[in-house]
Amino acid sequence: MDSRANFSIMDHNQPPMIGTATPRGLHEFTASHVIARYAKAGTRAVDLGAGPGAMAERLSALGCEVTAVDRDPALYQGNHRFVTQDLNHMAFASELGMASFDLVVAVEVIEHVESPINFLRNVAQLLAPDGVAVITTPNVDSLPARLSFLLEGKIRMMDEVSDPTHISPIFSDLLQRQFLPRAGLKLAEHLLFPPKGYQLTRKTLAWPLALAAAVFPGDSVLGDNHIFVFKAAT
């Protein structure tokens, strides 16, 4: 089912000299279709799991005042404020600044943490009043993922040929029913990437699966990645 090319794909539309190991085009799509609607000059933004700093550069280009956060400072290539922090820490928000950010971004991060609920709770604590969080993660609800589990009993993009640090699959229904209420967040918007199909599935299967997805229930059968926009629950 799977092309097995679902990890370490470089996004060649990134700012010069800074690459990323996220799926090709995900950073660009997320920045242009989602983040650009929430970012403006002076927006206080934090990029959690910043890696080399590609998204931090995009946020800066949109006018944000950027803080980049990662546990490995040796990876960071950007020019913005950088804070070394392990996102598995139970209270990392208190060290970054409670209610300090208008925009919290975490691209392909939550699937790497040991406790997604704790991560989301800290995200909620980072948000300033009226702030938003933009979080992406592999779509384990997609039709290819469902078929992979049915046929092989394995979670797509979480199996033995995927990134070995993918340890926490995020199922959309469980996220909305259980995780968000416990974390103090609510879902404001949900997009999928790619929006109308799949790029991590072999081309000979991608189009038939995209057509077949029309008859399956749920709002996540298309796309390789979820893009969630959260706000603090009121």
Domain ranges of the chain: 26-232
Q: What is the pTM of this model?
A: 0.87
Which amino acid, one-letter code, is at 169?
Answer: P
Q: Is the confidence at residue 1, as pLDDT, over 60?
A: no
Would you say how long the chain is, in residues? 234
Q: Is the confidence at residue 208, as pLDDT, over 80?
A: no
Nearest-angstrom CA–CA distance, 118 and 201? 32
pLDDT digits (tens, 9 = 90+) for 189-206: 999 999 887 776 677 776
The pLDDT of residue 2: 34
Q: Read off the pLDDT of each residue in 103-124 and give the average, rounded to a whole number.
A: 98
Third-level CATH fold of 26-232:
Rossmann fold (3.40.50)
